Amino acid sequence: MTKYSPTITSSLKKFITDFYLTSDVAPPAALTETRDPYLNFFTEDAPLIMGSTRVKGHNEIIELRKGMWKVVTKRHHVVENVASVEDNNTLLINGYVDYTLINGKSITSEWAARMHLTKDLKMEFYQVYLDPSLTAKALAED
């Protein structure tokens, strides 16, 4: 069960839950016809930093998402803790994610994130701290 700091509102809890549920669904294959719901959580020009990869804006976020799903067939985020700073505009989050990789292996990886939100609950900054070596090692194994 997720532990929230006392200042986290019910609308923020819903935003966080909805975001990670959406993150666990692969982007639509035909993005020219269907908009990825993941983008609804970001401002148009938001930077997203995933490990050592930095992208900015919806077009680059989509490309990053497509790349992340090339080696993953299934994933499930579990949010363990959410803390707020700066009047709930900045959230510090940690948890773990269970992956099933294209070679059938399953792994669990811990992560932490920092997200900065606008007043209308759109991310204008999102950074994820994670170690990709576990995924790389599992993909390299037969």
**Residue 100, SS3 per DSSP:** strand
Q: pLDDT under 50 in the chain at which residues?
A: none
Q: So what's the pLDDT on residue 29?
A: 76
Domains of the chain: 3-140 (3.10.450.50)
Phi-psi region of 35 (alpha: psi -120 to 50; beta: other; left: phi over 0): beta
Tokens 């966080």, residue?
16
Alpha-carbon distance of 56 to 123, in angstroms, equals 12
Q: So what's the pLDDT on residue 80?
A: 99
Alpha-carbon distance of 63 to 50, in angstroms, equals 12
Asked if residue 80 lies in contact with residue 3, where contact means CB atoms within 8 angstroms, the answer is yes
> Residue 138: in which H helix or E strand, if any?
helix 133-140
Alpha-carbon distance of 92 to 79, in angstroms, equals 11
Residue among 109, 108, 77, 81 nearest 93 (CA): 81
Q: So what's the pLDDT on residue 64?
A: 95
